[in-house]
Structure 1
Amino acid sequence: MPKVHIRKKKISKDRQSIYLDFSPPLTNSQTGKPQRYEFLGLFVYDKPANAWQRKHNTETNSLVENIRATRQLDIQNRKFGFIADRTREQSFISYYNDYIRSKGSLPNDNLSMSLRYFTEFAGKDVNFFDVDQFLISDYRSYLLGRPGLGRRGRAISYNTASNYFAKLRTVLRRAHKQKLLTEDICNTVDPINPKETHREILELEELQALANTPAKPDVVKKAAIFAGLTGLRFSDVHGLTWEEVRGVPGKYKLQFVQEKTEGAEILPISDQAMELLGERGEPHQKVFKELTYSSMRYCFEKWIKDAGISKNITFHSFRHTFATLQLELGTEIYTVSKMLGHRSLKTTQIYAKVKDKMKIEAAGRIKLKL
Structure 2
Amino acid sequence: MSLSIEYYRGSEISSEGKRRHLRNFEKLSTYIFSDPKTTAERNYNREKLQYAEDILAIRKAEYAQGKYGIKNSYNVKRTFLAFFEELTEEKQKQDSSNNYGNWFSTLQHLKKIISNNLTFEEIDENFIKKVRAYFKNEALTKSNLPLSQNSKYSYFNKFKASLRRAFDEGYTTINFATRTKSFDQAESQREYLTFNEVQALAKTECKYYVLKRAFLFSCLSGLRWSDINTLVWSEVRDEDNFTKVNFRQEKTDGVEYLYISKQARDLLGMRQYPQDRVFKGLKYGMTYNTEIVRWCNRAGVPKHITFHSARHTNAVLLLENGADIYTVSKRLGHREIRTTAIYAKIIDSKMKEAAEMIPELNINL
Global fold match (TM > 0.5): yes
Query: Cα offset for 1:203?
Result: 0.9
2:150 & 2:337 partners in 1: Cα distance?
A: 21
> Which residue of structure 1 aligns with residue 299 of structure 2?
307
AA aligned to 2:332 is L
CA contact 1:82–1:182 (8 Å) conserved in 2: yes
1:251 paired with 2:242, answer: yes
1:144 & 1:104 partners in 2: Cα distance?
A: 28
1:263 & 1:138 partners in 2: Cα distance?
A: 35
Alignment of 1:51-70 (within 5 A): none
Alignment of 1:339-354 (within 5 A): 339-354=331-346
Pair 194,301 (structure 1): closer, same or farther in 2 beyond 3 Å: same
> Which residue of structure 1 aligns with residue 23 of structure 2?
none
Alignment of 1:286-325 (within 5 A): 286-290=277-281, 291-325=283-317
Alignment of 1:176-195 (within 5 A): 176-195=167-186
CA contact 1:92–1:126 (8 Å) conserved in 2: no
Query: Cα offset for 1:293?
Result: 2.3
- Over aligned residue pairs, what C-alpha RMSD do you find? 3.1
Equivalent in 83, 86, 89 of residue 92 of structure 1: 83
Query: Cα offset for 1:334?
Result: 0.9
> Which residue of structure 1 aligns with residue 228 of structure 2?
237
> Which residue of structure 2 aligns with residue 120 of structure 1?
112
1:200 paired with 2:191, answer: yes
Equivalent in 61, 64, 74 of residue 76 of structure 1: 64
Which runs of 5 or more structure 2 residues have no equivalent in the other structure?
1-56, 358-365
AA aligned to 2:320 is E
Pair 147,277 (structure 1): closer, same or farther in 2 beyond 3 Å: farther
Pair 208,245 (structure 1): closer, same or farther in 2 beyond 3 Å: same
Aligned residues: 294
Query: Cα offset for 1:339?
Result: 1.2
1:143 paired with 2:142, answer: no
Q: Deviations over 1:2-52 (max 9, x none)?
A: xxxxxxxxxxxxxxxxxxxxxxxxxxxxxxxxxxxxxxxxxxxxxxxxxxx
> Which residue of structure 1 aligns with residue 321 of structure 2?
329
2:124 & 2:248 partners in 1: Cα distance?
A: 30
The two structures have a TM-score, normalised by structure 2, of: 0.69
Q: Deviations over 1:158-181 (max 9, x none)?
A: 212222223333343344344444
Query: Cα offset for 1:249?
Result: 5.6
Aligned-partner SS, 1:266: strand
Pair 249,212 (structure 1): closer, same or farther in 2 beyond 3 Å: farther
Which runs of 5 or more structure 1 residues have no equivalent in the other structure?
1-68, 366-370
> Which residue of structure 2 aligns with residue 165 of structure 1?
156
Query: Cα offset for 1:289?
Result: 3.8
Pair 138,276 (structure 1): closer, same or farther in 2 beyond 3 Å: farther
Higher Cα Rg: structure 1 or 2?
2
Aligned-partner SS, 2:278: coil
Q: Deviations over 1:121-165 (max 9, x none)?
A: 325455443444433332232223363455x55554221222222
The two structures have a TM-score, normalised by structure 1, of: 0.69
Which segment drifts farther, 170-179 or 200-209?
170-179
Query: Cα offset for 1:358?
Result: 5.4
Percent sequence identity over aligned pairs: 36
